[in-house]
Amino acid sequence: MKVLVVGSGGREHAIAWHLRRSGATVVVAPGNAGTGALNAPVQALDIDGLVDLAKNERVDLTLVGPEAPLAAGLVDRFAVEKLTVFGPTRAAARLEWSKAWTKDFLGRHGIPTAAVETVGSREEAHHAIERRGLPLVLKADGLAAGKGVFVVSTPAEVDSALHMLFDGLGEKTILVEECLEGPELSVLAFSDGQTLRVMPPARDYKRLLDGDHGPNTGGMGGYTCPSDATQELLADVEQRILRPTLEGMQREGHPYQGVLYAGLMLTRDGPKVLEFNCRFGDPECELILPLLETNLAEICLAAASGELGHVGVDWRDDRTYGVVLAARGYPDAPRTGDTITGLDGIPARVFGFHAGTRLADDSRLVTAGGRVLTLVGEDWHMVYRGARAVHFDGKQFRGDIGVEIPEGIGASR
Ligand code: AMP
Ligand code: GLY
């Protein structure tokens, strides 16, 4: 089997690693230094280039890492070209690329989420904020690469968030949302439009600094199967959130095929949807795939042809921890080009998934993005030994990933 993986992060390195472990031949577009020998120089948003690549390489299946090509209609285009691809169409990916549409959808189908008002101007926003009272959450409608959500508790924070949303991001529509409380949980599932195969749950650490301080990031690490994600809770999430979402999408004429990722808040009133993503999370993917025992290409191929119901998906019953090593200046202005050394000091049973890495002309491994590497393993101490062994100037990482404090709250607030 030959598989094309689209993207260039730690997520795509983990996908490529898992596929190769099951014997597939893999091409990554455009990839990073971790997937170096597999890379093809086609960017993730160059859909014409990806169509040509998939045809020239005669790939059997394409897997898409990031949301932007899905939102741009990669899957619709591949279908026209009769190329097999695992991922949602543009219409189905709307669950990620329009938060306003998604809130309406959740409302139509009675799926639990925070109360919301959608507004189209600063004036309307101020009225909504006055009616509801602070604290509130202000969100961009569209894709914002993790920079479109502001939890605001003071008028000054409101002003700066509205400025960022309307002027900085140029949003036409924003959401004024009730502020929920509780630990967060990411629940991802494979879907063929009808059948769901839920993955082990994960907890992602979004803030830069220990103790959930500092700015929001794309994710600084995480761990799978937190103690508060019980079997009962997961059954509830599947029944009240994931299934009604799939059924609703089908009924509305946009069957959802791909990875459905529910970002949840575990509130006192039960789990509620914060957001959906239409793809694997990063770093969730790096945490979850080492636990997958079934051939990933077979799962995705079955899902792409509506036959996921015929495939059993098996997981190892273990917990993984993942720590992201980020570049100096991340997330605001990550510096690139710093030499990376010490990868040979990563312990044997820890994976070093590359994200922002590149081979320089003189063959040095250098930083090439904000998140540089994700180290993943089952032994917490070994993962941190790896995090300390790798060196580059300005390396940043959290020291508290997967440390469960009493009350079962691991992170993320
Ligand atoms: P989102 O991109 O919608 O998942 O939001 C990013 C982060 O903002 C989430 O992981 C939460 O930490 C926080 N957040 C989003 N919506 C809410 C909400 N309604 N209440 C409290 N925090 C939220
Ligand atoms: N880890 C969050 C995301 O992938 O969006």
Q: Is residue 315 part of a domain?
A: no
* CATH number of the domain where residue 217 is located: 3.30.470.20
Domain CATH for 359: 3.90.600.10
CA of 58 to the centre of ligand 2 (A): 31
Which pLDDT tens digit goes with each residue over 123-180? 999 999 999 999 999 999 989 877 888 999 999 999 999 999 999 888 889 999 999 9
Q: Is residue 223 assigned to a domain?
A: yes
Which residues' Cβ are closer than 6 Å to ligand 1?
A: 114, 137, 139, 149, 151, 177-180, 184, 206, 263, 274-275, 412
Burial of residue 170, with CB atoms counted within 10 A of its CB: 0-12 exposed, 13-18 middle, 19 or more buried: exposed
Kind of pairing, strands 2-7 and 371-377?
unpaired
CB atoms within 10 A of CB 253: 8
- C-alpha distances (whole Å) from 71 to each of 40, 68, 170, 191, 217 are 22, 5, 18, 18, 21
Does residue 98 fall inside a structural domain? no
The domain that holds 151 is classified in CATH as: 3.30.1490.20
| Ligand 1 centroid distance, CA of 265 (Å) | 8
Q: 240 lies in a domain?
A: yes
Same domain, 253 and 354: no
If you ran DSSP here, which 8-state letter would residue 239 be given?
I
Same domain for 281 and 193: yes
Q: What is the mean pLDDT of residues 345-372?
A: 97
Q: For 94, left (φ over 0), alpha (ψ -120 to 50), or beta?
A: alpha
Statement to judge: residues 205 and 191 lie in one domain: yes
Q: Are residues 188 and 306 in the same domain?
A: yes
The single-letter code of the amino acid at 140 is A
Burial of 79 (0-12, 13-18, 19+ CB in 10 A): middle
C-alpha dihedral sign at 179, 170, 372, 288: positive
Range of the domain at 171: 115-178
pLDDT digits (tens, 9 = 90+) for 75-102: 999 999 999 999 999 999 999 999 999 9
| Structural domain total, the chain | 4
CA 373, CA 355: separation in Å to the nearest integer? 5
Say whether both 188 and 271 belong to one domain. yes
CA–CA separation, 183 and 175 (whole Å): 22
Residue 138, in any domain of the structure: yes
Same domain, yes or no: 262 and 342: no
pLDDT > 90 in the chain, percent: 92
Nearest-angstrom CA–CA distance, 35 and 57:
17
Q: Are residues 293 and 230 in the same domain?
A: yes
- For residue 96 and ligand 2, the question of a CB distance below 6 A is answered with no
Task: Compute, in angstroms, the gap from residue 288 CA to the centroid of ligand 1.
Answer: 22
Is the shortest distance between the CB of 7 and ligand 2 below 6 Å?
no
Q: Whose CA is nearest to atom 3 of ligand 2?
A: 281
